[in-house]
Amino acid sequence: MFLKRLSRNYLVGKDPRAPLFYREQGNKKFQEKEYMGATVFYSKGVSHSRPNTEDISLCYANRSAALFRLGQYEACLKDITRAQVHGYPERLQHKMMLRKAECLVTLGRLQEASQAISDLEGSFTARPTLATPQSQVLQKSLSRLKMKLQEKENLIETPPAVLSTACEEDMGLRERSEQIPSASSSVRLCTDPLKGRYLVATEDILPGQLLVREDAFVSVLNPGELPPLHHGLESEWDTRVTNGDLYCHRCLKRTLATVPCGGCSYAKYCSQECLQQAWHLYHSIECSVGGLLLTLGVFCHVALRSTLLARFEESGQVLKKLCGKIGNKDICLPESKNPMKKFPYDLGGESGENDKSIETPIPGCDTNGKYENNYNAVFNLLPHTENHSPEHKFVCALSVSALCKQLEESSMVEESSLQAPTTGLKSSKLEAAETPALCAELDIWGVAMLRHMLQLQCNAQAITTIQQTGSEERIVTDSRQVRLATAVFPVTSLLNHSCSPNTSVTFISTVACVRASQKIGKGQEILHCYGPHESRMAVAKRQQKLRSQYFFDCTCPACQNEKHRIGTGPRWEGFCCNRCRTPLQGSNVLSCGNTPCMESVRRDHLDSRLQDLQQQIGMAQKLLRKGQLEQAVPLLLGCQREAERFLCEEHTVMGEVEDNLAQAYAAAGDWQKSAAHLQKSLRVVELRHGPSSIEMGHELFKLAQVFFNGFAITEALSTIQKAEKVLLIHCGPWDDEIQELQKMKSCLLDLSPIPGGPSM
């Protein structure tokens, strides 16, 4: 009852009064020329509309107008078709058809465009009664468009430049490992009693080399950081924009033109294909329990979806087989007592000369010793049952049983229903009633879900993305990493942790790419960072975090080295001497490291000084956002002077001040000053994260933008080269920033005079 009450705070159904509200909100934004905001509101309207209603067609039509203004012509055309499919009213057709023709002309699809134009003309002549002023405006636009079409037709048609079609191939692995198909042949799976399973290099690996490329077995979009809206506050409907409004709930692609599920208002997709896939794979069952899933949290959702996906492997028998062998009750037993470990694995096939280790069965592998991205591998990830607190285990069990109870109630548990989502859910409910042995199946699901819940604390991987912050029109973009989804990657999960890892992980939609971030010698272990990185967290904090979340004591080289220096704190939080700028040392009272100087200060004094400074910076940032540069710049310059008096040169706040100054000058159009400050901030980042770190790559990208906008061609080109080199190692050639850098480069090369070339 309590959970049900909580679930009601999430509006997951379709509210028939909402489409009108959101459409009006969208229209308001549209009038203010805020087309992005308008699009999101129309999308919200769409997700609350029933299929084949005037509501849904009007929302799609209005969204097509906003997309048109944003220059997203392909998406605009799709929305026009959607509006028509759902019965767009006849009386409004002309305006939308004109928009369609305009899109087609702009896109250079001239044949279709002239067809659309003649259709429109036909409908005008067919109904000559349309002599209203409005139709006269339309007629005028039509003849303008015809001229534009003719102009385009007269131009010699150049085929659009074809971007390399090798894209997909290049993104793949050069040579696949036979043992782990989602990994490169440069790595091998090993196991030993102390480390468990881990990956090692079978040959020398170069920085930037792709080691693992795997699609998530399961992923669930994080709904966003916002709490549910309590009814009665502000307006009844949520006007906030979250990740759930901007990314496809299946493939995680960013899109402004979402298509909603026909049965609920919270699941939205980038396309009809994603919608149908999601429905087929899991959403037909999740749809009715959306509120509860949002209440219970994303781990519970991942656990449910994993078991739903298991139905599709080996005709849905995997789970039953796994559970059948050990009996339901033992599925969550601690590893030491788990009979799962003693499965007889028949490891035939060729084994290498030094493959002794493989003779003992490796959990998660199939009978041929192959480790694949499948349910068997996911099932065999460690649940660490003996390490979790009783409270945690209780909450997990309670969540799973509540979910099972509601699934039973909505009697939606059935073998995959191939029901088309747009036709609603009624008929699938009927089918469910005919499905026998419903409860027996649910038992197995529940136990498996509980196992997954326990696994997730150590094995869930956050899919992150770089999101541009600040307003759209800002020329130098700032970015931050956001958590987009929670996922399980069975191969990436094999990597052990290091606070100074030798790999970098990036994501393309739901695919994880693990690249070597430095040279890795043959036989060395492949390591990645679970979060607590040596350049982001002090050693004591890291140790505590790894112990409480992952249940181990980190003995990585970074931790070993830093242990001797415990008490001094990380370099990027250090203070320096007021008089001679030597770093200060000590705990409660800090003294100058330069012996003749004798200066000493109390820590709480420095802490409060830092607090004041951060407050000032916060104020300056607010002014910056509002575009009040005249006030922001002097305030920031004051902060800079104050920071230099007592903070170490690699202190994070020093970099922050310089970065804000760079932003302020860029906004004012003073590229030279902007670049100078950005270079200072770059030095702070370099000292902290190292010259070839991903953080450095992002900073260099920003600097390249500044030089580019200031037409400093030589500086821009050399910075682009540096940025490319760093980003390639971590993100590979198809990264957005790399693509952007290449565009800038080709633009600059067109501009710069070729030395010694013919002058024309």
| Interacting residues with Zn ion (CB under 5 A) | 248, 250-251, 253, 261, 263-264, 267, 270, 274, 287, 499, 554, 556, 559, 577, 579-580, 582, 592, 594, 597, 599
SS3 71: coil
Q: Are 229 and 11 in contact (CB under 8 A)?
A: yes
Nearer to Zn ion, 255 or 376 (CB): 255
Q: Are 460 and 485 in contact (CB under 8 A)?
A: no
Nearer to Zn ion, 101 or 403 (CB): 403
Nearer to Zn ion, 677 or 689 (CB): 689
User: Taking the complex as a whole, how short is the minimal distance between the CB of residue 286 and Zn ion, in angstroms?
Assistant: 7
Dist CA 280 CA 312 (whole Å): 10
Nearer to Zn ion, 174 or 602 (CB): 602
Backbone φ, ψ for residue 9 (5° rounding): -70, -20
User: Taking the complex as a whole, how short is the minimal distance between the CB of residue 320 and Zn ion, in angstroms?
Assistant: 27
Dist CA 170 CA 172 (whole Å): 5
**CB-side exposure of 757: number of CA atoms within 13 Å?**
7
Nearer to Zn ion, 272 or 469 (CB): 272
User: Taking the complex as a whole, how short is the minimal distance between the CB of residue 645 and Zn ion, in angstroms?
Assistant: 12
Nearer to Zn ion, 387 or 585 (CB): 585
User: Taking the complex as a whole, how short is the minimal distance between the CB of residue 283 and Zn ion, in angstroms?
Assistant: 6
Greatest C-alpha distance within the chain: 98
* Residue type (1 letter), 117: I
Nearer to Zn ion, 290 or 710 (CB): 290
**If you ran DSSP here, which 8-state letter would residue 468 be given?**
E
Dist CA 471 CA 384 (whole Å): 44
224: left (phi > 0), else alpha (psi -120 to 50), else beta?
left
User: Taking the complex as a whole, how short is the minimal distance between the CB of residue 232 and Zn ion, in angstroms?
Assistant: 26
Q: Is 528 exposed, middle or buried (0-12, 13-18, 19+ CB in 10 A)?
A: buried
Nearer to Zn ion, 11 or 287 (CB): 287
Cβ neighbour number for residue 645 with a 10 Å cutoff: 13
User: Taking the complex as a whole, how short is the minimal distance between the CB of residue 261 and Zn ion, in angstroms?
Assistant: 3
Backbone φ, ψ for residue 543 (5° rounding): -60, -40
Nearer to Zn ion, 138 or 537 (CB): 537
User: Taking the complex as a whole, how short is the minimal distance between the CB of residue 421 and Zn ion, in angstroms?
Assistant: 7
The radius of gyration of the chain's CA atoms, rounded to the nearest angstrom, is 30
Dist CA 67 CA 62 (whole Å): 9
User: Taking the complex as a whole, how short is the minimal distance between the CB of residue 646 and Zn ion, in angstroms?
Assistant: 11
The DSSP string of 283-340 is: IHHHGGGHHHHHHH-HHHHHHHHHHHHHTTSGGGTHHHHHHHHH-GGGGG--GGG-GG
User: Taking the complex as a whole, how short is the minimal distance between the CB of residue 618 and Zn ion, in angstroms?
Assistant: 30
